[in-house]
Structure 1
């Protein structure tokens, strides 16, 4: 087990471009840093690539490490974690250049379709008003709210077959009204 002081000494010597110290630092810390990369990326190949980037960063930035009383492993782990997260972010679907994206069609109805729908809605409301109030309510509950025929029969206190007849006749009246 390598001590904190030994790791700090290896980082300091790496800052002076000591290859032996850098090799010793790698041997002492690579297992832990690889575990960090693997946990973040969940992909062995990518974790190995990022680990290589981690040690390149350590080689180039070792002089920026400052002994602050914190464990030197905290600095090394932060470097590994940040690079792994950066790699994870690049995995996301790449954004496309605005010029290469085709025009996106608006799925909402246009003014003409809205006018037609509004007219049809008004016509349906007019036809529903021609039905007896309890029949119109039963049609709304059955076909808009999804209530069952059995529930409607219980609500209006009529036999199930009577409810079916109400609904069938109401739909026929609506159809006649809408085709006028």
Structure 2
């Protein structure tokens, strides 16, 4: 039988609000649970910078999957810990055969992605997670051709001409897809920032 405490019920309510994309509820959930969840990540990964990264990724998953939480099956913290644990184990599996990466983690030499400094405070990590969520949502709204073009250009480093050859389209078409995709991303992210500013007032 699950333990029903005021603390558990508060987290249940916050997760329900997060499932409806309530940014304030997400912020409160983060503030209430991030310190404990960071400790969980650190126990698995033994690296502060990597634990910070995994915690950020876990909270992005929480934002996206909060609707799948079932209060009849587990307490909120048990569910949140499972999200962090799964992320940490995925990370360990990915790099277990790459000893040079492991050595770097032990030495604390891996740089933080997205400009986040090692030992960043919870507010910085929350802001980074929120920005990543907004970017993922905006990318999902792009046309398939725009999304693919931007991924190839920025993640694979293809030039416009290489992109056109890869996608078998005229050079002008490839350039247009990238340009329009970037413009839509910019407008979407600006709209997100404006909505956050409105909530802060």
After TM superposition, the score normalised by the length of structure 1 is: 0.50
Q: Which has the higher contact order (CA 8 A, sep 6+)?
A: 2
